[in-house]
Amino acid sequence: MTLANLLSESQIIPEMAAKERWQAIQELVDCLVASGKVDRADEEAILESIRQREETMSTGIGFGIAIPHASSSKVGDVVAAFGRSSAGIQFDALDGEPVFFIVLFVVPKDQFQTHLRTLAAIAKFLNDKTVREELTKAENIPSILQVFENRSTRP
């Protein structure tokens, strides 16, 4: 599973409005609702699942990256949204620094292995400094998506 498989143009926010963690999570879940990946009726339940996970430990993993995630019975497949912030978002990250790239994903309940594989793939992808530089330079949604697609075809 790659981010290129999970994301479409409607699931990318090139410049997030959020300034802090909970606003960012809400903005990305709103994006999933707007793109039709999450039913509006299920939005609160999904937000609550992510909140519960986030309260155990921030998913701001350092290097300007956050990966909020949860399992939910409200989705049938893995769904994801990507947001970028040039100003940085206070996310209570492990290194205390703001985050610039956020991938929020939700996995169907009881798919623990899928959850772990998805989290590992996203973390590995964003831990590449070259990827972060390319995402920073990308001028619009199609060029952001192109970074994901280009990287998913490389060995």
Measured CA to CA, the distance from residue 97 to residue 81 in angstroms comes to 22
115 is catalytic: no
The model's pLDDT over 64-118, given as tens digits with 9 standing for 90+, comes to: 999 999 999 999 999 999 999 999 999 999 999 999 999 999 999 999 999 999 9
Q: By the 8 A CB rule, do 4 and 148 touch?
A: yes
Tell me, what amino acid is at 12? I
The pLDDT, as a whole number, for residue 155 is 38
Q: By the 8 A CB rule, do 80 and 5 touch?
A: no
Break the chain into its structural domains and give their ranges: 3-152
Q: By the 8 A CB rule, do 61 and 123 touch?
A: yes
Q: By the 8 A CB rule, do 13 and 28 touch?
A: yes
The pLDDT, as a whole number, for residue 151 is 73
The pLDDT, as a whole number, for residue 3 is 79
Catalytic residue from among 21, 37, 69, 74: 69
Q: By the 8 A CB rule, do 75 and 107 touch?
A: yes
Q: Which fold has domain 3-152?
A: Mannitol-specific EII; Chain A (3.40.930)
**The tokens 């990827």 sit on which residue?**
131
Measured CA to CA, the distance from residue 30 to residue 41 in angstroms comes to 12
Residue 118 DSSP SS3: helix
The model's pLDDT over 144-153, given as tens digits with 9 standing for 90+, comes to: 999 999 876 5
